[in-house]
Structure 1
Amino acid sequence: MTTRRTLLAAGGLALPAIAARAQDRPVQLYVGFAPGGNIDLAARMAAPFLERHLGGGTQIITVNKPGAGGMLMLNEVAAAPADGRHVALVPFPALVTALYDNTPRYRTDSFAYAGLLTDEPYTVFVGNGTPFRSLRDLVEAARAQPEAINMAGAGVGSAPHLALIAIERASGARFTWVPTQGAGQALQLVHGGHVAGSISTVSLTVRGHIQGAHRVVAIMERERWDKAPDLPTGIEQGVDVAAGSARGFALPAATPAAIVARWEEAIRRTAADPEFRAMAERDFLIVRHMDRATMTRFVEEQARAYGEVWRSSPWRR
């Protein structure tokens, strides 16, 4: 699969205060969505490896703060003490889209970006009780009966919602979006037959497809994925859309540089850790590492790109 998008280990890098009194003050790793979704699962998978590579007995607990497509969590972390113990697993493009369709209490410079860890394409998947066997089937039904087909996912303006809007614009279909507190809740709605389908990352959906829990009708990438070569792209089915979600780590902007550097190194080591990569491979999680400078540029590029989209075609009215 093609990607839609290192610092050398600093020998002798002094361990800053992040590890001090780790037994009494664990690091809180914030996730802006409910448990059980793709971002939550990625955070919980990465946490033990980050603990290992931060060193000094650091403990990490995952804290779920769902609401407003991740914005509530980002507001909280932006205003948190800059002591290295409040870290967000930031989803993209949600961090930047909220700047245009909502009123967050943060800006892009409210954070110190420590590094990107994963980047995955989305899939479109449907419940086994639906008649849809392909994305073509799904969009044809949504053209024939505009807004009659419900698709669930994180809040209005979230990355999955924007991916569905892109499908609508490319195909002429009209769906109804059912906002949830995250991908885990959307998955439950699909499995329960309450909605027709959803959009989420390959790490959350492909295993379920293979096991027969639901049906992936398209992967939103430019070419097929070698780990699941039977899954057709949307482009093959006449819907020229590629979309996905990247995730990285951010701390409050005033966090001391030594602490941010330590997080940057721990993220780099986690991305390169053979055990982590084996787990990621097993669970269809796609690792894509960026150092803090590259991630910061990535944030700026995302903000510019989605700002242009918002000005030409707002996704919330």
Structure 2
Amino acid sequence: MTMKRRVLVGGALSLPALSASAQDRPVQIYVGFAPGGNIDLAARMAAPFLEKHLGGTQIIVVNKPGAGGMLMLNEVSAAAPDGRHVALVSFPALVTALYDNTPRYRVDSFAYAGLLTDEPYTVFVGNETPYRSLRDLVEAARAAPETVTIAGAGVGGAPHLAMMAIERAAGVKFTWVPTQGAGQAVQLVQGGHVAGSISTVSLTVRAHQQGTLRIVAIMERERWDKAPDLPTGIEQGIDVAAGSARGFALPVATPAPIIARWEEAIRRTAQDPEFRAITDRDFLVVRYMDRPTMTSFVREQAETYRRIWATSPWKQ
């Protein structure tokens, strides 16, 4: 199976300068999780190409972990609208916080400049565990409810909701161990502190191939041709598919010409042959959406998770 990738090609745009007051300051791309996780790695991979397509504007990646990314989103939503404060937002984390917490932002607090990646999740365990399949993990949880520990970034984010989907599909109960980012969750798995974790292919497939962790399922409908040895959860009787999409958002008051400049830079990054070669090498799945398409996507996500929260809340 070839992972579906969508690249929407728009017409060329002029690239106006950032606000005059911000000309000599670097752009800060904020990540709401600790360094070393999948979202942090995606930001650092994209940054040099965004720099190039923004005309050489310096970019630095700033980690602001806490509350599943909510603290960072609060900060960026209230930042100066000068094009220098940009959030790498992930879904569904941006919208789930609207229902399980009290963030200072809302969906319409941001201008969404473009989606860049959308990756399926994997379920993985430590090499010293007895689990060789997702079915093994599920049967252990069935035999001893709430004793099998699964770590992942935050509460109510995409990894947590993916675990809950497995629980519902299999009729079992794990224990969720929230972390400040996916990198920390990997360390807990590799150190034998938890049984397993859930994260994206870009963070886990290489480690699986190198033998530092064991993927027991890819949360996709079909096997992935870039890692065909990875069985799906569906093959193992667990009908689940889940992943994480990421894109860029700026404070909603940011002037339209600056948003257009960012939209164009994201589009050019998604199409850049050098960027595509790196993402192919490192299993990062590119899926570009322009500003209107991403904005519609965010609103659809918010409505989807509003309905889920009403019937199956993920946080008490």
Normalising by the residue count of structure 2, what TM-score does the alignment of the two structures yield? 0.97
Aligned to 1:243: 242
Q: In the alignment, is the contact (CA less than 8 A) between 1:48 and 1:60 conserved in 2? A: yes
Q: What do the CA deviations read for 1:260-317 (whole angstroms, capped 9, x no partner)?
A: 0000000000000000000000000000000000000000000000000000111111
Deviation, structure 1 residue 4: 8.9
Alignment of 1:1-317 (within 5 A): 1-3=2-4, 6-10=8-12, 13-17=14-18, 22=23, 24-55=24-55, 57-317=56-316
Task: Give identity over the alignment, percent.
Answer: 79
3-state secondary structure, aligned to 1:17: coil
Deviation, structure 1 residue 173: 1.6
1:34–1:178: structure 2 CA closer, same or farther, 3 Å change rule? same
Deviation, structure 1 residue 153: 0.6
Q: Distance in 2 between matches of 1:135 and 1:227?
A: 20
Q: Distance in 1 between matches of 2:104 and 2:257?
A: 26
3-state secondary structure, aligned to 1:84: coil
Q: Distance in 1 between matches of 2:185 and 2:15?
A: 44
Q: RMSD in angstroms over aligned alpha carbons?
A: 1.3
- Consecutive unaligned residues of structure 2, counting only runs of 5 or more, are none
1:201–1:79: structure 2 CA closer, same or farther, 3 Å change rule? same
Q: In the alignment, is the contact (CA less than 8 A) between 1:124 and 1:217 conserved in 2? A: yes
Count of paired positions:
314
Q: Distance in 2 between matches of 1:110 and 1:239?
A: 37
Deviation, structure 1 residue 21: 5.9
1:96–1:136: structure 2 CA closer, same or farther, 3 Å change rule? same
1:18–1:271: structure 2 CA closer, same or farther, 3 Å change rule? farther
Q: Distance in 1 between matches of 2:188 and 2:5?
A: 29
3-state secondary structure, aligned to 2:53: helix
Q: Which amino acid aligns with 2:250?
A: L
Q: In the alignment, is the contact (CA less than 8 A) between 1:2 and 1:222 conserved in 2? A: no
Q: Which amino acid aligns with 1:182?
A: G
Q: In the alignment, is the contact (CA less than 8 A) between 2:111 and 2:259 conserved in 1? A: yes
Where do 4+ consecutive residues of structure 1 move more than 6 Å?
Answer: none
Q: What do the CA deviations read for 1:58-101 (whole angstroms, capped 9, x no partner)?
A: 00000000001100000000000000000000000000000000
Q: Which amino acid aligns with 1:17?
A: L
3-state secondary structure, aligned to 2:269: helix
- Consecutive unaligned residues of structure 1, counting only runs of 5 or more, are none
1:161–1:63: structure 2 CA closer, same or farther, 3 Å change rule? same
Q: Distance in 2 between matches of 1:90 and 1:235?
A: 28
Q: In the alignment, is the contact (CA less than 8 A) between 1:33 and 1:69 conserved in 2? A: yes
3-state secondary structure, aligned to 1:105: coil
Q: In the alignment, is the contact (CA less than 8 A) between 1:114 and 1:291 conserved in 2? A: yes
1:40–1:14: structure 2 CA closer, same or farther, 3 Å change rule? closer
3-state secondary structure, aligned to 1:259: helix
Q: Distance in 2 between matches of 1:268 and 1:284?
A: 19
Normalising by the residue count of structure 1, what TM-score does the alignment of the two structures yield? 0.97
Q: Distance in 1 between matches of 2:95 and 2:5?
A: 18
Deviation, structure 1 residue 172: 1.1
Deviation, structure 1 residue 156: 1.2
